[in-house]
Amino acid sequence: MTTTRCDRTAAWGALQTAYAHQGHAFDLRQAFAREAGRFAAFSQSAPHVFADLSKNLLDEATEQLLLELARETGVVQHRDAMFAGERINSTEERAVMHWLLRTPPLDPAMPAQSVHRHMAETLHEVHSTLNAMLVFAETVRSDARITDIVNIGIGGSDLGPQMAVLALDAFACPGKRFHFVSNVDGHELAGVLSKVKPESTLFLIASKTFTTTETMSNAESAKRWFLRQGGTDMARHFAALTTNVAAAHGFGVTTTFGFWDWVGGRYSVWSAIGLPLAMVIGAAGFREFLAGAHAMDEHFRTAPLEQNLPVRLGLLDVWYRNFHGFSSRSIAPYHSALKRYPAYLQQLEMESNGKRVDAQGCALPYGTAPVLWGEPGTNGQHAYFQMLHQGTDVVPVEFVAVKQPKHDLPGHHDLLLANALAQAQALMVGKSDAGGHKDFPGNRPSTFLLLDELSPASLGALIALQEHRVFVSGSVWGVNSFDQWGVELGKVLAKDVAARLVSGNVAGLDGSTAGLLTKLRA
């Protein structure tokens, strides 16, 4: 597959011209005043998600140029290559097929399905593993003797399932408590162990290779605690989510659920890594979660670019990062259950597209992934929204709101939604004040994503939307969104430093590291 890097296309130059002539001075208030149909033109429905893009610094002519940029950089061909199972993860020579994990089984009576026939055997394996995992999840759900489930993992083996478990707590199985341990800092594991009992706890060790340093350190400590506390029957109280079955057996775990090398960690919540979520919402709920994501996959795969929500969002990200020069995006979910959603998106986007070289290893002359950060509303309003409204940097905000609450407390949800709408409105309209301190410049952009309800299906669709949006911007930038070499160097150096903390040997270290190491040993 041949692609053209964005800065080598005609559309890139046309966008530079458009920004210089009118884009840099675009005013949202004027745009709404002159464009009666602006909301209709810049909003759309996708599976389980309604998106309002109308409060962004964008007109129809610019969006057409961005769509042309997508065509010239080969986004469509790149997308189709992913869905065909081609090895688009070029640095690791792997296919990228997390979408296959949420694809329904092939129906022999329907030959025109989205899955290529050569992947039929793999899809069969996917569903065999899924079925076995869901049977196990239901077994644990119905076992009153198990009251606590402790997931031990890190990165994608922690952020995805933890975010989803918290988000769908309203659907949770009663009588079960879920804990997540990721940090190698022993305070985290010790805090969890102080709340559980060995005879009523199930540990899930989530590590594709069963060698991840933080995960295996925590797993060894959990096993040692379990045995010292009089725990028996390791096979019943430990399960592993891994491809390294031999290592798991050597650890004493006999119940294992695997996945494939074409599943990246930050895309793995749909796989066996999602077992904690399956235990929370049950087999039927987990299948709804997959179905919601698959519906968004089909939207991304088949919708025209002009009405393809992941494409429009990904291109908007490029417009802001490379032409307006905005270097961050704030995530504001107005639903307390989405408290870990910003952290999840941080890994998804910054680990995927935080690259300084293109897929061929050539240094890039333009910016890539923005910094993502945020907190649930209305908490963020009383923390950092001051900067969003009156700070010197313009930060696009992405609001997420849910129409129907899962509680019956009168007045609360209307007040929550009113705040979300008002903040987006205030960022745009601003307020003039001659005195200065109460002046709000306005014209600050935002996107508004609306779900009818926060359910397994809508959460699945929302996550898949963000996955594909990251794919689009990464494709335009010409980076490999599916490797993460940037996490490796620190791991290697940590092994050396760990040995030096024991020996005290600082020979060959830089002055700062040597000084800190000596201070720590004193």
Which H or E run contains 33?
Answer: helix 28-34
DSSP string, 206-239: E-SSS--HHHHHHHHHHHHHHHHTT---HHHHEE
Q: Give the C-alpha separation, 97 to 116, whole Å.
A: 12
Name the DSSP class of 63: H
Catalytic residue among 349, 351, 398, 467: 351
Which H or E run contains 14?
Answer: helix 10-21
Distances (CA, A) of 89 to 57, 183, 210, 333, 351: 33, 28, 22, 31, 14
Which H or E run contains 372?
Answer: strand 371-374
Give the gyration radius of the chain's Cα atoms.
Answer: 24
- The reply to whether 220 belongs to the active site is no
* Strand order across the 446-453 sheet: 43-46, 49-52, 446-453, 397-404, 328-334, 371-374
Pair 273, 241: CB distance under 8 Å: yes
Between helices 456-477 and 159-167, what is the axis angle to 10°? Answer: 140
Q: Give the C-alpha separation, 389 to 376, whole Å.
A: 17
Three-class DSSP category at 371? strand
Pairing of the two strands 201-206 and 148-152: parallel
Q: Give the C-alpha separation, 486 to 285, whole Å.
A: 35
Q: Give the C-alpha separation, 164 to 29, whole Å.
A: 37
Catalytic residue among 382, 412, 438, 495: 382
Which has the closest alpha carbon to 260: 203, 216, 209?
209
Q: Give the C-alpha separation, 288 to 171, whole Å.
A: 12
- The reply to whether 124 belongs to the active site is no
- Both tokens of residue 87? 């090895």
Which has the closest alpha carbon to 27: 429, 398, 447?
429
Q: Give the C-alpha separation, 499 to 415, whole Å.
A: 55
Q: Give the C-alpha separation, 297 to 428, whole Å.
A: 32
- The reply to whether 382 belongs to the active site is yes
Pair 82, 96: CB distance under 8 Å: yes
Q: Give the C-alpha separation, 28 to 57, whole Å.
A: 7
Pair 334, 377: CB distance under 8 Å: yes
Report how many helices (DSSP H) and strands (DSSP E) the chain contains, helices first.
20, 11
State the catalytic residues: 351, 382, 491
